[in-house]
């Protein structure tokens, strides 16, 4: 044993100059150590692996008008980008509470923010769904400002193990908290063909919902598995091959049709798995109760269903006198921001001020 050589495990390195696999991008996954690489990736308009570039930061801060000594809530902590910028505005005075359901990413973000100097004296992080923010408000509220960014974080999308994207092979999971709830591949076994068709149509306005639900059911009857992201993409492709538009389309048009349909279907499954519409409705109902008089709330949405719920809630509560003012039109990220961060393009921001 004493003479036995100890083999050192070689660190995963880039495969060539442009690595494809998530775990091979070790430089991108260490932003503190490889700042030059991170800056280069961002300049090219991409998001480094394992990172998330916050959207509409200027627009959010301009509206929230955060002052030292105030109390605030970041209802969707994520990578902590928005939180860190709001903490800067406090200048060491006041407190921010931050929530997130992701049991994997929340500890990484806690450590990252602590290294930036934001410890428990000014920042309290709780693993909690933002629909339950009233539990935090009992101790920390009422809040002078509240932010909710409803988008899925890039580090969730890019990690194949989370199953959020059809671009990489991984389990068809899609849970925001991978330790709770039912993964998407099990949901497909629980719902009927009619329920799946309704899910796809209601959650993402999928025009081929009927064809895709029928194809899923056909696979299941034949005993074929739909447990990975690749399986689901294949099901979608085979469903699309049977629609009239497919036969008329060029190869490039077919490729784009598959891409857009996969995006909508994965979104619909994610919304269902995480009960996102129900959670958002609960959040909007509780929002006035956690805000201080004159308190400000900003919400970022990323698809029409979310934006519709926010718009309707804000409009109705302004009519009832709960809010003194609400956004009449959506605020969108600038063209410059969208050029640097392609994932910002679908973002809509709405705001409200408590009476």
DSSP string, 59-110: HHHHHH---TT-EEEES--TTSHHHHHHHHHHTTSSEEEEEE--TTHHHHHH
Q: Are residues 47 and 78 in the same domain?
A: no
Question: Could you read off the pLDDT of 120-129 as tens digits, one per residue?
Answer: 999 999 999 9
Q: Smallest Cα–Cα separation from 25: which of 47, 45, 9, 7? A: 47
pLDDT value for 177? 85
- Residue 349 and residue 330: Cα distance in Å, rounded? 5
Partners of 272 in the β-ladder = none
Last residue of a domain, one of 30, 51, 72: 51
Residue 115 structure tokens: 């290294």
Which secondary structure element, helix H or strand E, spans residue 325, and what is its range? strand 323-326
Beta 95-100 vs 71-74: how paired, if at all? Answer: parallel
Pair (136, 199) in one structural domain: no
Structural domain range at position 143: 57-154+277-354
Q: Is residue 90 part of a domain?
A: yes
pLDDT tens, N- to C-terminus, the chain (355 residues): 444 444 444 455 555 555 555 554 444 455 555 455 544 554 454 444 455 578 888 999 999 999 999 999 999 888 888 999 999 999 999 999 999 988 888 888 899 899 989 999 999 999 999 999 999 999 888 999 999 998 777 666 677 777 778 888 889 998 888 888 899 999 999 999 999 999 999 998 999 999 999 999 999 999 999 999 999 999 999 999 999 888 888 999 999 999 999 999 999 999 999 999 999 999 999 999 999 999 999 999 988 888 999 999 999 999 999 999 999 999 888 888 777 777 778 889 999 999 9
Q: Are residues 35 and 69 in the same domain?
A: no
Q: What is the pLDDT of residue 304?
A: 84
Sheet strand arrangement including 348-354: 123-127, 95-100, 71-74, 143-149, 291-301, 348-354, 323-326
Distance CA 348, CA 344 (A): 9
Same domain, 191 and 266: yes
């Amino acid at each position: 044993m004493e003479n036995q050589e100890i083999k050192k495990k070689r660190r995963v390195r880039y495969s060539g100059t442009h690595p494809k696999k998530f775990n091979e991008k070790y430089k991108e996954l260490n932003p503190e150590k490889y700042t030059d690489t991170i800056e280069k990736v961002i300049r090219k308009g991409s998001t480094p692996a394992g990172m998330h570039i916050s959207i509409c930061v200027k627009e959010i801060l301009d509206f929230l008008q955060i002052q030292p000594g105030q109390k605030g809530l970041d209802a969707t902590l994520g990578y902590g980008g928005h939180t860190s910028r709001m903490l800067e505005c406090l200048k060491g005075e006041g407190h921010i509470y931050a929530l997130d359901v992701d049991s994997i990413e929340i500890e990484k973000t806690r450590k990252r923010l602590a290294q930036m100097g934001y410890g428990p004296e000014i920042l309290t992080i709780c693993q909690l769904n933002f629909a339950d923010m009233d539990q935090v408000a009992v101790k920390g509220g009422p809040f002078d400002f509240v932010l909710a960014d409803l988008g899925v974080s890039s580090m969730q999308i890019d990690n194949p193990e989370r199953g959020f994207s059809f671009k990489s092979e991984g389990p068809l999971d899609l849970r925001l908290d991978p330790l709770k709830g039912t993964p998407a591949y099990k949901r497909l076994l629980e719902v009927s063909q009619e329920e799946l068709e309704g899910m796809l149509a209601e959650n993402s306005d999928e025009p081929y919902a009927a064809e895709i639900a029928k194809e899923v059911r056909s696979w299941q009857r034949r005993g074929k598995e739909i447990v990975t992201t690749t399986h689901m993409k294949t099901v979608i492709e085979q469903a699309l091959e049977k629609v009239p538009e497919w036969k008329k389309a060029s190869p490039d048009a077919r490729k784009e049709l598959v891409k857009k349909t996969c995006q909508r279907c994965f979104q619909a499954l994610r919304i269902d798995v995480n009960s996102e519409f129900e959670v958002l409705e609960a959040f909007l109902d509780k929002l006035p109760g956690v805000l201080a008089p004159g308190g400000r709330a900003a919400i970022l949405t990323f698809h029409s269903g979310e934006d519709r719920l926010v718009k309707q809630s804000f409009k109705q509560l302004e009519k009832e006198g709960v809010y003194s003012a609400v956004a009449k039109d959506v605020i969108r990220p600038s063209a410059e921001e969208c050029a640097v961060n392609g994932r910002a393009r679908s973002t809509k921001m709405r705001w409200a001020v408590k009476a």
